[in-house]
Amino acid sequence: MRAKIKINFAAMEAQKKRNIRDLSREELMEFFAEHKVKAFRAKQVEEWLWKKSARSFEAMTNLSLDTRSLLEANFELPAVSVADQQRSNDGTVKNAFRLADGKITEGVLIPASDRMTACISSQVGCSLACKFCATGKLKLARNIRFDEIYDQVAILKEQAEEFYQKPLSNIVYMGMGEPLLNYSQMLKSVERITSTDGLGMSPKRITVSTAGIAKLIKRLGDDEVKFNLALSLHAANDEKRSKIMPINDQNNLEILAEALKHFYNKTGTRITFEYIIFKDFNDEIEDARELAEFCKHVPCKINIIEYNPIDDGEFQQADPKKVDAFAAYLESRNLIVNVRRSRGKDIDAACGQLANKNKAVVSN
């Protein structure tokens, strides 16, 4: 009779190395104390991880070889890498980021004369299925951890300095996924990016964009976050918005308005409304009037975004004259309006195009 093999799963789990970026400085100090290593090494390791963005133990060159070997033996440091990179004619840089488990997400560096912006992802794929978005046609694979979000920023920061000799100035959570459905990891990533012990960026230079999950917008207010909030609105009419954004069925405009008021009252931060303008769908003056009425709920500004077609061709870019007339109407109502022209369209890096024509993303 074949002998039964007992598997000690608890022992196997105990042998699994812990991600070192999950440790606090106090935990690092305790680890070094147990191994009779001087306590100040904990601060050095923390600086390598969060200030210098080291993505391997080998890179921590002011630690002795013995100390690096000790870390290697006890911890893992899973890091994001660039699987593929494309550069647009306008200077935009699109990256396919490979996560430690092999899954692919995307991030974009967007250079401009007055700023250098990193557009980063919070999920691999997306569950919200917005009709106009390439990412929305993918299934949600998983949330992205806080350290993986941090790595995206660190890599794009390095690219800004390497390619343009300029510092990264702005961060937008507008890549793949819905940031508020990865709430805790998103907040933790912001903490690391803005901390003086991290990248030290101002939270006022960070914008988190949501498709509109009312209870989580309220939670942001209750948490009194310091970063900016953008709502992907795209129609100030429930019937139209539900046609392109199924999430509106549970989070209609009335519910969203209440949540936005709560957020503003708690934070004092003006909301940004993102409005992608589609040909013969939401580009009429009546649509602009509805938008102006919705804007009465909270202090806000409006970004009118040129549509970037994806493969299915369901929506088309609005006529530039209509876009200008739309913007002019809003300005006549004393609203702050910016018309955003697309960047990186030739490499499918523009708004709504992430994952478009990217086999690496679709296959994971």
- Pick the closest to residue 136 from 301, 30, 246 (CA basis): 246
Exposure string (b/e) for 116-129, b if CB count within 10 Å is 16 or more? bbbbbbbbbbbebb
Find out whether 239 and 282 touch, Cβ atoms under 8 Å: no
Active site includes 106?
Answer: yes
Find out whether 214 and 263 touch, Cβ atoms under 8 Å: no
Residue 31, CA atoms < 13 Å, CB-side half-sphere: 18
Active site includes 126?
Answer: no
Rounded to 10 degrees, the C-alpha dihedral 315/319/322/323 comes to 80
- Pick the closest to residue 133 from 281, 278, 230 (CA basis): 278
Find out whether 42 and 29 touch, Cβ atoms under 8 Å: yes
- Pick the closest to residue 264 from 291, 300, 289, 239 (CA basis): 300
Find out whether 35 and 45 touch, Cβ atoms under 8 Å: no
Terminal-to-terminal C-alpha distance of the chain: 43
DSSP character at residue 259? H
Tell me the one-letter amino acid at 153.
V
Catalytic-role residue among 126, 130, 295, 351: 351
Catalytic-role residue among 46, 106, 178, 274: 106
328 to each of 219, 230, 269, 295, how far by Cα in Å? 35, 21, 25, 15
Residues forming the active site: 106, 351
